Amino acid sequence: MPKATETVLEINLKSLEHNYTYLRSKIKASTKLLSVVKAFAYGSDAITVAKKLELLGVDYFAVAYAAEGISLREVGIKTPILVLHPLSVNFKDIIKHHLEPSIYSKRILDAFIKESEKQKIKDYPIHLKFNTGLNRLGFIDNDIDYIIEELKKTNFLKITSVFSHLAASEDHNEKEFTLNQIAHFKKITTLLDRKLNYKPFKHLLNTSGIINYANEAQFNMVRTGIGLYGFGNEAKIDAKLIPIATFKTIISQIHTIEPKQSVGYNRAFSATNTTKTATLPLGHADGIGRQYGNGKSFVTVNGKKAPIIGNVCMDMIMIDITNIDCNEGDEVIIFGPDFSAEELANSAKTISYELLTGISQRVKRTFVDN
Ligand SMILES: *Cc1c(COP(=O)(O)O)cnc(C)c1O
């Protein structure tokens, strides 16, 4: 790997391929795999990641919002793209770019029917989202007759798939709840199949669902996000995956601080002994928030852990390197395959998902594919 000369998020596409292959190995050959590339592919780079996954033969993509799907279409991504959380205001663009909306309520269904009539499209693919316990987005069971009635009146739309989302697939203490969600989903899809004269495909599992419930609830497709990026929400699975992103930077300047001197805004760190500090060119504007400061979290310099001291600034953080042999210009690893983003996230009481997606667009993305 090239050594950092500035702050970069290095994305390893070979590791992405490894994770993709691992997740594929957990499902039947006939089961489709959807890659979730929302939020810049979990903070990495949606376009590069989607292009790689398309080459690997992924069946579907999902994004959260329409604009994310449009940016993939604009660079030539041809694979079907499910938009998980479309808003009515996006429907015209969704159709223009051949994105496939998740339809999650009567209001959204009515609005999409209206737009489809305006544009006179035929059999446009839509995906019905049902709420089975997450209570976030989705139709309820009682909406089924309404959906069928409305769709009978039009031939503009066709239900391509029916799906739901698990609330606690990674939590073994919530197994009973998850099994109930699975049973609930089966009930809904059975009812729908009986009332339709065609069979939409079905999907329920996210990454931890694939790990824990592939036997019970694989259906026709699974949806994976965090797993592709190298995290399995438990140590045993983390060991099989490779984090694709390495967040790294360099030491800009080294200071020697005498007792009673302080470091950073509001003098939040105060030296008791002679302390060697290093200033790094990244801060909360890059996605390392203030919650990582004041000794809570560590970065890695020449293989050794260095605590973040004082308050994290907008563009800089300071670390304690008193016991580390290092020089200005040396590489610093914030997280990567050997220094887990999950561990760093946990040190500030959050999860890998939040840390990864919070790496701001100011940080340059670089790519390795060998
Ligand atoms: C984000 C998301 C996923 C991906 O979940 P992971 O835990 O990252 O695999 C799957 N389905 C839906 C509906 C989502 O919103």
Pocket of ligand 1 (CB under 6 A): 36, 84, 165, 206-207, 223-227
- pLDDT value for 343: 95
Distance 115 CA to ligand 1 centre (A): 27
- pLDDT value for 88: 97
Distance 84 CA to ligand 1 centre (A): 9
Distance 253 CA to ligand 1 centre (A): 41
User: How sure is the predictor about 2, in pLDDT bands with cuts at 50, 70 and 90?
Assistant: confident
Closest atom of ligand 1 relative to the 85 alpha carbon: 15
Residue type, 68: E
Closest atom of ligand 1 relative to the 208 alpha carbon: 7
Instruction: State the average pLDDT for the chain.
Output: 97
- pLDDT value for 370: 83
Could you confirm whether 124 is annotated as catalytic? no
**Residue with CA closest to ligand 1 atom 6:** 225
Q: What is the number of alpha carbons within 13 Å of residue 56 lying toward its C-beta?
A: 26
At residue 14, does pLDDT exceed 80? yes
Closest atom of ligand 1 relative to the 129 alpha carbon: 13
What distance in Å separates the CA atoms of residue 97 and residue 16, rounded to the nearest whole number?
A: 27
Closest CA to 359 of 208, 248, 251, 238: 248
What distance in Å separates the CA atoms of residue 244 and residue 73, rounded to the nearest whole number?
A: 23
User: How sure is the predictor about 1, in pLDDT bands with cuts at 50, 70 and 90?
Assistant: confident
Distance 206 CA to ligand 1 centre (A): 5
What distance in Å separates the CA atoms of residue 105 and residue 83, rounded to the nearest whole number?
A: 14
Closest atom of ligand 1 relative to the 170 alpha carbon: 7
At residue 232, does pLDDT exceed 90? yes
**What percent of the chain clears pLDDT 90, i.e. is strictly above it?**
97
- pLDDT value for 170: 97
Instruction: Quickly list DSSP for 112-151.
Output: HHHHHHHHT-SSEEEEEEB-SSS-SS-B-GGGHHHHHHHH
Distance 336 CA to ligand 1 centre (A): 22
Compute the average pLDDT of residues 185-190. 98
Judge whether 48 and 54 are in contact, CB under 8 Å: no
User: How sure is the predictor about 190, in pLDDT bands with cuts at 50, 70 and 90?
Assistant: very high
- pLDDT value for 249: 98
In this predicted model, what pLDDT tens digit does every residue of 113-126 receive, in sequence order? 999 999 999 999 99
Could you confirm whether 195 is annotated as catalytic? no
User: How sure is the predictor about 136, in pLDDT bands with cuts at 50, 70 and 90?
Assistant: very high
User: How sure is the predictor about 155, in pLDDT bands with cuts at 50, 70 and 90?
Assistant: confident
Compute the average pLDDT of residues 205-233. 97
pTM of structure: 0.96
Q: Which of 20, 22, 26, 38 does the annotation list as catalytic?
A: 38
What distance in Å separates the CA atoms of residue 349 and residue 10, rounded to the nearest whole number?
A: 24
At residue 182, does pLDDT exceed 90? yes
At residue 144, does pLDDT exceed 80? yes
Mutation test residue for ligand 1: of 100, 171, 206, 233, the one with most atoms within 8 Å of CB: 206
In this predicted model, what pLDDT tens digit does every residue of 288-327 receive, in sequence order? 999 999 999 999 999 999 999 999 999 999 999 999 999 9
- pLDDT value for 126: 98
Q: How far apart are the first and last CA of the chain?
A: 10
- pLDDT value for 26: 98
- pLDDT value for 274: 98
- pLDDT value for 321: 98
Q: Which of 28, 265, 304, 364 does the annotation list as catalytic?
A: 265
- pLDDT value for 315: 98
**Residue with CA closest to ligand 1 atom 12:** 165
In this predicted model, what pLDDT tens digit does every residue of 60-107 receive, in sequence order? 999 999 999 999 999 999 999 999 999 999 999 999 999 999 999 999
In this predicted model, what pLDDT tens digit does every residue of 258-276 receive, in sequence order? 999 999 999 999 999 999 9
At residue 348, does pLDDT exceed 80? yes
30 three-class SS: coil
Closest atom of ligand 1 relative to the 233 alpha carbon: 7
Distance 223 CA to ligand 1 centre (A): 6
Compute the average pLDDT of residues 48-71. 98
In the chain, % helix, strand, coil (3-state, to 5) comes to 35, 25, 40
Distance 169 CA to ligand 1 centre (A): 11
Mutation test residue for ligand 1: of 223, 228, 352, the one with most atoms within 8 Å of CB: 223
Q: How many CB atoms lie within 10 A of CB 349?
A: 8
- pLDDT value for 5: 97
- pLDDT value for 310: 98
Compute the average pLDDT of residues 143-167. 95
- pLDDT value for 45: 98
